[in-house]
Structure 1
Amino acid sequence: MSEVEILHKKLFSVLLILLLIFTSTVLAVENAQQLESAEKLLALGIVTGYEDGSLKLENLITRAEFTALIVRLLPKQYDIESYEKDTIFSDVTKEHWASKYINIAVEEGLLNGYGDGTFKPDRKISYDEVLAVLVRILGYDKSLDKDKEWPLNYIDKATELGIVDNMVIPAEAKIPRGDVFVLVDNSLLIKLNKKY
């Protein structure tokens, strides 16, 4: 093996080690932020963990789980059990654990179903959808940029408000619980632009 090849291998090894250190540091910071947000939201009763006590921050969140979370954000008091009835969606009957939350979210205009009359409660929700709902719950959906289409109009408004707070939002990607918790936590610091 020539000296040049040995030098290339050493350089590659050093670069690989630096990349691993940088990636580990970034992930540790992200996980710390997710955990801090999750603990705050747990203390406020906005999120719940799993039966085993874990938070599973890396798990993708479903539309039903996210709907329950956002309804807990509403400052309005509900007789929540009175909403435990069939929804307007063919795939969510009153027996579904999230029917009451879905009924409230629809009543408040926070979430919609699909053109086929379904809600798809077990479908994983995307970053775009989460940002749109957070902008709506805060009351800033009336001030969207009219020249931009969905989802850019909501992403821009969420960025402007500080909901995103330097997070990289992958287009149309499904969102893990940890990132949802960070976005919701950021939203708690924003002044409401509507009355409940």
Structure 2
Amino acid sequence: MKKILNIVSFMLVAMMFASTAAFAATVPTDIAGTSCEEAVKTLTEAGAITGDTDGKFHPEDKLTRAQACIIIVKTIDPVASLVNGTATQSSGKTGFTDLKGYSWASGYIAYAVEHGIVKGYPDGTFKPGVNVSTNEMLTMVLRAAGYTEDKIGTVWPNDYITKAKEVGILKGIDESYPENATKGMASQMTFNQMKELRAMAPTITPDPQGTEKDKPSSIPSTSGMKFVTGSFDDNLNTFGGKTISGNIEIYTYGAKKDYSKDMKLSDKEDAYRKDTVYKFKDVKTPAWYLVENDKITKMILPVDTGFSGNVYGVVNGTIKVSSQDKEAITGFETLTATKAITWFGKKGLAVPTFTPGDGQLYELYTSNGEVRNVATTDGANGKMFKELTTGRSWTAVTEYGDSVITISSGFIPVKRNASIYIWDDSNKEYRAGSLSSIRAGKEVRAYDVSDDDSNEADVVIVK
């Protein structure tokens, strides 16, 4: 169907790589003439590293395991929510027992572990403050760039050193390098593989939206499925205490009142829709689910269930669909917590006119997944929904660094787990972005949507 498009309050850690992001940042003063000058300058401008509080880089200082994770992950530059989570969903948890005091690095460590860049120790620790060896650093860069054991060899560190030389990671580094990596060496290794690392940023593909166009191509098999009533946790990692697979398939079907272990499911394809798990945060519901390898991989859920509360997102368009009762209703195609989700409105809902590319954030008040009200900062249901940019319009960025946007009228602190959206003018739609999307010369609209007594941006929209 055709779319109708319509300072800083948290601690700034005073060490290299500790800030959430730093773009249009000042290049450290002590790298001129050093062998790593080009690498440090390039990575600083890309937001992957910062200097220390004295304005210097100290390239001969040693690097910790936590800092190594940060420089590599920031160079990859994945969508911000994959590292720091969002205002409504936390990032992945590592389970390491020794990350207290490392909240500034935990998201980067979790990302690096999840993507096989680095590993913890058998005793359940990560040892974030331990100096990383040069061989460990080159190994991390190799893994981050997509080189697996079958391409490298099984003998560590010899095979890894050989591969690092082969692909150019050790270019510009003395062969008699020290045991522990310095900040300058780490920057040079990362810079040498920067193109390959950037190519490893995960591509975010929209989840099925639960619209007419996303009806399954076949009836979902219920073979091996169990009937249960349970609750999704607030991070959507579990249902009824059972772990949810990252590739879970979600289907919606029928009314909640009809769900039972003896219910008969329809044999008609158009009775089902494919949907996304992100609509079911904190929801308790009956469900059919399939467990494979101790994880839930498929679920069939009632149509009339879903998240209840305030949802904040950008709207890419609206669609007209039929409800379970064959009545015409409106669907809102949104990015919410950086995830593509279509929410369905109640019958007769007043639908505002959406202007493509205006940078407006909307509050959707939902009950059991059904939109009951749509509002801007005017008429909002939530206690806190405030625009931080001036004039309720696009505002030019003069500088961005250390999680603070500088505009002509002042400063806007940005939360580490802020949702970032970019207006893609060529495709006339919003897409999820990363913190590096914010930089001098761009225009932004920034919003505070959390009732936490801090005047920081939870959402930043960029063009």
TM-score class, shorter-chain normalisation, is: 0.7 to 0.9
Superposed displacement of residue 167, structure 1: 2.5
For residue 11 of structure 1, what is the aligned residue in structure 2?
Answer: none
Cα deviation per residue 1:65-85 (whole Å; 9 max; x = unaligned)?
Answer: 111111112243131332567
Aligned residues: 166
- Residue type matched to 1:145 in 2? G
Which has the larger strand fraction? Answer: 2
Q: Distance in 2 between matches of 1:36 and 1:138?
A: 20
Q: Secondary structure at the match of 2:104?
A: coil
**More relative contact order in 1 or in 2 (CA 8 Å, sep 6+)?**
1
One-letter amino acid of the counterpart of residue 44, structure 1: A
Matching residue of 1:163: 169
Give CA-to-partner distance per residue, 1:111-133, whole Å, 9 cap, x none. Answer: 10112111111100011111111
Q: Deviations over 1:105-163 (max 9, x none)?
A: 111111101121111111000111111111111112230134xx101111111111011
* Amino acid across the alignment from 1:70: I
- Contact 2:144–2:197, Cα closer than 8 Å, also in 1: no
Aligned to 1:42: 44
Query: Shift of the alpha carbon at 1:171?
Result: 7.1
Mapped pair 1:182 → 2:184: no
2 CA distance for matches of 1:81 and 1:138?
Answer: 21
The structure with more helix, counted as a fraction of residues: 1
CA distance in 2 between partners of 1:61 and 1:103 (Å): 18
- 1:115 maps onto 2:115 in alignment: no
Q: Which residue of 1 aligns with 2:136?
A: 129
- Once superposed, which parts of structure 1, at least 4 consecutive aligned residues long, lie more than 4 Å away? 83-86, 169-172, 189-195
Q: Which structure would you say has the larger Rg?
A: 2
Question: What are structure 2's unaligned runs of at least 5 residues?
Answer: 1-31, 203-463
Gaps of 5+ in 1: 1-29
| Shift, 1:52, TM fit | 1.7
State the distance in 2 between where 1:159 and 1:40 align. 21
Percent of aligned positions that are identical: 30
Q: Contact between 1:93 and 1:99, CA under 8 Å: does it hold in 2?
A: no
How far off is 1:48 after superposition?
1.2
Over 3 Å counting, the alpha-carbon distance change for 1:191 and 1:64 in structure 2 is closer
Instruction: Tell me, yes or no, if structure 1 residue 144 matches structure 2 residue 152.
Output: yes
TM-score (norm 2): 0.33
